[in-house]
Amino acid sequence: MKTMIDHGLVVTMDGVTVYEDGCVLTDGKAISYVGPKPESVDYDRYIDARGGIVMPGLINTHTHSPMTLLRGVGNDHALNEWLNDYIFPLEDKLDEKAVYYGTLLACAEMIKSGTTAFADMYFFSESAAKAVLAAGMKANISRCVTGTHNDYKNRLAEARALFRDYNGAGDGLIKIEHSAHSVYSCSKDAIRKVAEAAQLDGTGIHIHLSETMKENRDCYSRYGKSPTEVMLDCGVFDVRANAAHCVYLSENDMDILKSHDASVAHNPTSNLKLASGVANVKEMLEKDINVSLGTDGSASNNALDMFAEMKLAGLLHKGMRLDPKLIPAETALYMATAGGAKTLGRQNETGMLKAGYCADVIILDADAPALVPVNDPLSTLVYGGCGGHVITSMINGQIVMENRELKTLDMADIKRGVIAARSRIGL
Ligand code: NI
C-alpha cells in the first residue's frame, strides 16, 4: 500500500527542515519520500493534510502502561508513601487480564495524543505485549525485576522468556528489554544479573535512577556511593541504558552516563506531582547527554500526553534557571522525537520523517484555533499544541487513528475490560 500525505506543513525533525506545503509518501511500512510534492506520484491512498502540521509520532520513553487502572489513586503524596501505601498493595491484586486492558487503555490514550512508540516497564508483560500488538503501536517492553534476596530470580526468568517469545514481534513493533527497577528495590546481585541478561540477549536496560533525594541518601548510607555509581558497578551501563528521572545526579554521575552513551528519560510532570524535584537538564544537555521525555505511569501524572511533557520541559527549566533560552522549542521537540528514538535504540528507524525510516507519522488538525496562524511551526507545536490536536496517526505504515477515530482499538470494549479489572482489584 502506497500512501500520499499531501499539503502538510511538514516538520521532519531531520535537522530543522520544514516544508511549508510538503508531501510525505509511504510504501508499506516505510517512508519513501519527504519534500515538496513531486510532479507525478503513484499511490493507493490519498490523505489531504489541508495545511495541518505533519510530523514524526512522539516517543514516550518512560511509562508503566497498565497503571492507567490506578489513575487518580494516592494523589498528593511523596514517592515513598505513594508507592508503599497506595500503589504496591493494589498492584499485588492485578492479574493478566487487568494488565491487558490497562495497556490497551494506555495505547488508546497515547494514540489519541500523538504517541507512536513508548518504553514500558511493568509485569504480566506478555499481556502488555499482546495489547501493544493489538493496538499496532511500537514499544520497548521490559518485565520489571525487583527483589532484594533470591526473590528476583523468578522475575528475571520471566523477563528472559518474554525476550525469547516477543522480541521483534509484529514485524519489529515490539522490542524486549530488561529492567532492574531501582537501587532501592533491587539487591546489587539482582541488578548485576539483569545487566548480564541484557548483555546475553543483546538488548537494552531500563531503570529508575536517582528519582528522589531519599533514594540518593539511602544509597549513600548503604553503599557509600551514588545510585549511578552502584548501577555502574553492576554493569548496567555496559548495555544501552534508559535511565528514568535522574533528578539528583552529581557531576560524576553525569560523566558516567555520557561516557557510556546512556540516555535519560526526563519525566517533569511525575517529578513535580510526587514532589521529587527538578532534574538538572541544563547540565545534562551541556554534557551532550541524550535527554528524552517520559510521562511515567498514569498514577503519577495522571495523563499520557507527550505534548504536555514537551511544554512543561520547555517551560520548567526556563523558569527554574531564569533563562528564557534554555530548552528552546526545537530542543523540546527533539527530546520527544529523535532523542526518544535514540533512547529506545530505534534511531535508525523512527523519530524523523525521512526516506527509509518507518512510517510513524502524525497529522495535527489544520483547523485547531490554537494552531492558527503558524508563524513558527516548532513553537506552535511545543507551546500551543496538545494531544487533542492530533487527528490522524500512522505507525509502520498502518493507520491507527483517522480523523480522531481509533482504527485498531475498540474503546467500548476497553472500558468494559477496565471497569471489570477495577472491581477485581477493589477500587
Ligand atoms: Ni517510573
pLDDT in tens, 54-66: 999 999 999 999 9
Please, what is the average pLDDT of the chain? 97
Distance set, CA 19 to CA 4, 30, 98, 228, 385 (Å): 15, 19, 44, 42, 19
Look at residue 155 and tell me whether its pLDDT is greater than 90.
yes
pLDDT of residue 16: 81
pLDDT of residue 148: 78
In eight-state DSSP terms, residue 144 is E
Q: What is the C-alpha separation between 365 and 307, in angstroms, rounded?
A: 14
**22 alpha carbon to ligand 1 midpoint, in Å?**
38
Look at residue 151 and tell me whether its pLDDT is greater than 90.
no
Q: Are 338 and 16 in contact (CB under 8 A)?
A: no
**18 alpha carbon to ligand 1 midpoint, in Å?**
34
pLDDT of residue 231: 98
- Assigned C-alpha cell, 261: 552513551
How far is C-alpha 36 from the chain's CA centre? 31
Tell the burial category of 70 from Cβ atoms under 10 Å away from its Cβ (0-12, 13-18, 19+): buried
The pLDDT-based confidence of 276 (bands split at 50, 70, 90) is: very high
pLDDT in tens, 357-393: 999 999 999 999 999 999 999 999 999 999 999 999 9
Q: What is the DSSP string of 202-259?
A: T--EEEEES-SHHHHHHHHHHHSS-HHHHHHHTTGGGS-EEEEE--S--HHHHHHHHH
The mean pLDDT value for 200-213 works out to 98
- Is the bond preceding residue 373 a cis peptide, omega within 30 degrees? yes
**208 alpha carbon to ligand 1 midpoint, in Å?**
6
Look at residue 78 and tell me whether its pLDDT is greater than 90.
no
Under DSSP, is residue 21 helix (H, G, I), strand (E, B) or coil?
Answer: strand
**46 alpha carbon to ligand 1 midpoint, in Å?**
40
Q: What is the C-alpha separation between 69 and 200, in angstroms, rounded?
A: 34
**106 alpha carbon to ligand 1 midpoint, in Å?**
15
Element (H, E) at 153: helix 152-166
Look at residue 399 and tell me whether its pLDDT is greater than 80.
yes
The mean pLDDT value for 200-215 works out to 98
**421 alpha carbon to ligand 1 midpoint, in Å?**
22
pLDDT in tens, 111-139: 999 999 999 999 999 999 999 999 999 99
Residue 315: CA atoms inside 13 Å, Cβ hemisphere, count? 11
- Strands 18-27 and 398-402, by their bridges, are unpaired
pLDDT of residue 168: 98
| Among 3-7, 84-88, 94-98, 172-176, the least confident range | 84-88
**270 alpha carbon to ligand 1 midpoint, in Å?**
8
**149 alpha carbon to ligand 1 midpoint, in Å?**
22
Q: What is the C-alpha separation between 424 and 416, in angstroms, rounded?
A: 13
**277 alpha carbon to ligand 1 midpoint, in Å?**
14
**71 alpha carbon to ligand 1 midpoint, in Å?**
14
**155 alpha carbon to ligand 1 midpoint, in Å?**
18
Partnered with residue 58 across adjacent β-strands are: 115
pLDDT in tens, 303-326: 999 999 999 999 999 999 999 999
**207 alpha carbon to ligand 1 midpoint, in Å?**
8
**297 alpha carbon to ligand 1 midpoint, in Å?**
6
**21 alpha carbon to ligand 1 midpoint, in Å?**
40
The closest alpha carbon to 5, from 379, 393, 325, belongs to 393
Look at residue 249 and tell me whether its pLDDT is greater than 80.
yes
Look at residue 207 and tell me whether its pLDDT is greater than 90.
yes
Distance set, CA 332 to CA 5, 59, 279, 364 (Å): 25, 12, 15, 18
pTM of the predicted structure, to 2 decimals = 0.98
**90 alpha carbon to ligand 1 midpoint, in Å?**
16
**62 alpha carbon to ligand 1 midpoint, in Å?**
6
- Strands 390-395 and 361-364, by their bridges, are antiparallel
| Among 75-84, 195-204, 346-355, 414-423, the least confident range | 75-84
pLDDT of residue 286: 98
pLDDT of residue 149: 74
Look at residue 28 and tell me whether its pLDDT is greater than 90.
yes
Measured torsion, CA atoms of residues 219, 220, 226, 230, in degrees rounded to the nearest 10 = -60
